[in-house]
Amino acid sequence: MIQSPKSPGKKLRMAYYDPEHETMTREKLEQLQLERLKTTVKKVYRAVPFYKKAFRDKGIEPGDIKSLSDIRNLPFIYKQDLRDNYPFGLFSAPLDRIIRLHASSGTTGKPSVVGYTKKDISNWADLIARSLVMAGGDKNDIIQVAFGYGLFTGGLGTHYGVERLGAAVLPMSGGNTARQLMLMQDFGTTILACTPSYALFLAEEGIAAGIDFKKLPLRAGVFGAEPWTENMRSQLESKMDITALDIYGLSEIMGPGVAMECQAKQGSHIFEDHFIAEIIDPDTGEALPYGQRGELVLTTITKEGIPLLRYRTRDISTLHPEKCACGRTHMRMKRVTGRTDDMLIIRGVNVFPSQVESVLLEFGETEPHYLLVVDRKGDLDDLEIWVELSEKMFFDEVKQLEKLESRIRHKLLSVLNINVKIKFVEPRTIPRSEGKANRVMDRRDLMKK
């Protein structure tokens, strides 16, 4: 048992869920990774024409993978490749073995779709259970899942892991803050899982409503799906009287539970018995040494539905292979500090400026000049889209404009899955750029949080 420094009264259990795999020697772990990599490579080569072609283009065959470092000869996979093969073109398992589909937003139009076999769902549940044990969880816990349920992997992914652990899952999904706080108190939630920004919002709404979090059994938070900082961690820990830990993941690779922070809080352990991690220079594609900042590239080595080789996550981080104070041998990734593309994360939802553009172009009643203005109102992200009106529209009746605003807003809600505000601005007021257009004004200063 260790005591949370912020919560002297609330002890967090320190344990392993799967000690054999979590504390494997590096040598054994790398042996296991190589075996699993070879199997995965053979499987995708056989099952997916896309891979066969990509291997041929690189002049390699599955048999060329003889050591772990040979992974560097494999082709990269990009989000665009999933879209080009929409919806199921990159699946390695036939549809009769797929039991779940999830999707995440693409840069425009179609999302990237992922499929899971029974085994994939079971492995995922194990990795979430492993993550929850890292946060001190066990079967006695009541775990409130306030990640969104649906196509997003956060809600259902975490849900199955809580059940696998044998704890009680409270499947709240996101939003409905007053109800979240009521049930948290009435049921005695012990672990909260949601985005860090929503957790801060819950904390502040709770405090404003007179809740004394010190008196609640809540003792840990498992927060992720968007970038956050040490500063946000201290706020969450002191406001909610918990230990707050980071969970990382992405739908293409699995969902939450690709990596999870332990109580040593020195970065998140990437679950290397299921994923191989590399850091590369995003411009050259060359591998970078441990400790150096670059783009995280992940290869799945146990997935059946849609295994991915060398997936370019676009997330910027660093890797640290040294053994951790917690005893786990899996290497750690430091907090994601940014992305190599223009994807924004608004209230945990991925948004690409190009998605907004394609909606505006569909309407054709506005100019193709727009700006995404992202702000943080209180603890919640706020997205306002400034759209330039054409000269003709500018002189239209207010009623007419209100109608157009509502149509655009509804369409954006269905495409992006979040509510946005639309602000029409006068013709020629959005600054033009001479180079690459700057479509985003991000006023959130995370470092202040």
Which residues of this chain interact with ligand DLL, rule CB under 6 A? 104, 147, 152-154, 224-227, 246-251, 255-256, 313, 315, 336, 339, 345, 350
Of 45 and 248, CB closest to ligand DLL: 248
CB 192 within 8 A of CB 145: no
In whole angstroms, the minimum distance from the beta carbon of 344 to ligand DLL comes to 10
In whole angstroms, the minimum distance from the beta carbon of 91 to ligand DLL comes to 17
Of 137 and 154, CB closest to ligand DLL: 154
Q: And the tokens for 179?
A: 């109800």
CA atoms within 13 Å, Cβ hemisphere of 418: 25
Helices (H), 209-363: 230-240, 353-363
Q: 386 phi and psi, to 5 degrees?
A: -90, 125
Closest residue to ligand DLL in the complex (CB)? 224
In whole angstroms, the minimum distance from the beta carbon of 102 to ligand DLL comes to 9
In whole angstroms, the minimum distance from the beta carbon of 155 to ligand DLL comes to 8
Of 34 and 250, CB closest to ligand DLL: 250
* Burial class of 354 by CB neighbour count within 10 A (0 to 12, 13 to 18, 19+): middle
* Burial class of 40 by CB neighbour count within 10 A (0 to 12, 13 to 18, 19+): buried
Of 213 and 228, CB closest to ligand DLL: 228
In whole angstroms, the minimum distance from the beta carbon of 44 to ligand DLL comes to 20
Of 7 and 417, CB closest to ligand DLL: 417
Of 17 and 311, CB closest to ligand DLL: 311
Cα dihedral across residues 260, 383, 192, 103: positive or negative? negative
CB 371 within 8 A of CB 306: no
In whole angstroms, the minimum distance from the beta carbon of 398 to ligand DLL comes to 38
Q: What is d(CA 376, CA 382) in angstroms, rounded to the nearest whole number?
A: 6
CB 143 within 8 A of CB 170: yes
Identity of the residue numbered 422:
I
